[in-house]
């Protein structure tokens, strides 16, 4: 009796999961354009605009190397430097080894406060995985990383678009980089422009400069 209930439950929940997965996938891929429908030249132009976003401090400050030192750009300064107060993400990338990021960066979808208050998001504040290294890299380096499933979390071009929408649905870091709180600069364009550029770049088969 117990086993049967368990099996029934497992079956029920996996089909619910499968169903939600399907619905989500349909939702998320509406941004994708047919592969090959965009020329290489247009794809490279889209990449130039993407590059200006991913190298911007609001994005790159979290996408750092294995030293796990977050970068900040304090209000009134124009160049980025190591986060003050000796903060380290550690191997956890979320600071569990020393002081968790959420000690100061709350998990909240409320509008970001003005600098120098710590920014927040709808998911726990943390560094990006080491593989997703952007800070201090050239645009061409980041381009090759982003199109490499071995270094981008196993994502193809459509998977990258899904990540943008998924992150947005959680009030995550990506759309909020365009609403960082007064006193902080924003990446060029809008979040929706960025999604469109990623779709163009993907449909052109992710060309990289150089
Ligand atoms: C607060 C830190 C933080 C900020 C700010 C941030 N990210 Fe990330 N990013 C992460 C984390 C953590 C992950 C890992 C999430 C995952 O893979 O599910 C990630 C993963 C990604 C990925 C997945 C694939 C890859 O190769 O990186 C993309 C794309 C991405 N971020 C884009 C951006 C863009 C664009 C911005 C700025 C508009 C940005 N991020 C700002 C922390 C951040
Ligand atoms: C003791 C409090 C504190 C802790 C803990 C802390 N931060 Fe911060 N962080 C701040 C403050 C305050 C700012 C904003 C400074 C400013 O704008 O002048 C900030 C800014 C940042 C920025 C820059 C945001 C931007 O848009 O440029 C990043 C990235 C960042 N923190 C990452 C982290 C990560 C990752 C952790 C955990 C490993 C962490 N912080 C832990 C207080 C903290």
Among 63, 126, 201, say which to mutate for ligand 1: greatest number of ligand atoms within 8 Å of CB.
63
DSSP H helical ranges for the chain: 2-28, 40-54, 57-60, 139-146, 157-169, 173-176, 191-203
**CA of 164 relative to ligand 2 center, distance in Å:** 22
Over the stretch 30-73, which tens digit does the pLDDT of each residue have?
A: 999 999 999 999 999 999 999 999 999 999 999 999 999 999 99
**Which one, of 26, 32, 23, 24, lies nearest residue 161 by Cα?**
32
**CA of 103 relative to ligand 1 center, distance in Å:** 20
For the chain, first and last CA: distance in Å?
64
Domain residue spans in the chain? 35-203
Ligand closest to Cα of 191 equals 1
DSSP state, residue 121 = B
**Which one, of 163, 175, 171, 187, lies nearest residue 57 by Cα?**
187
Over the stretch 97-113, which tens digit does the pLDDT of each residue have?
A: 999 999 999 999 999 99
């Amino acid at each position: 009796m117990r086993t049967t209930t368990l099996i029934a439950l497992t079956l029920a929940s996996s089909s619910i999961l499968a169903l939600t997965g399907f619905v989500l996938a349909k939702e998320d891929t509406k941004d994708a354009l047919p592969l090959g429908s965009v020329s290489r030249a247009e794809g490279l132009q889209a990449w130039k605009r993407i590059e200006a976003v991913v190298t911007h401090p609001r994005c790159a400050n979290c996408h750092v190397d294995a030293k796990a030192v977050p970068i900040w750009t304090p209000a009134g300064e124009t160049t980025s430097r190591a986060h003050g107060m000796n903060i380290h993400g550690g191997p956890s990338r979320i600071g569990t080894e020393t002081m968790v990021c959420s000690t100061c960066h709350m998990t909240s979808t409320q509008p970001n406060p003005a600098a120098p208050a710590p920014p927040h998001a709808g998911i726990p504040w943390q560094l990006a995985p080491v593989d997703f290294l952007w800070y201090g890299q050239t645009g061409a380096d980041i381009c090759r990383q982003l199109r490499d499933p071995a270094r981008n979390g196993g994502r193809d071009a459509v998977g990258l678009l899904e990540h943008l929408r998924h992150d947005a649905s959680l009030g995550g870091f990506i759309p909020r980089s365009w609403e960082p709180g007064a006193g902080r600069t924003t990446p060029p364009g809008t979040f929706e422009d960025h999604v469109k550029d990623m779709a163009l770049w993907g449909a052109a088969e992710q060309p990289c400069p150089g």
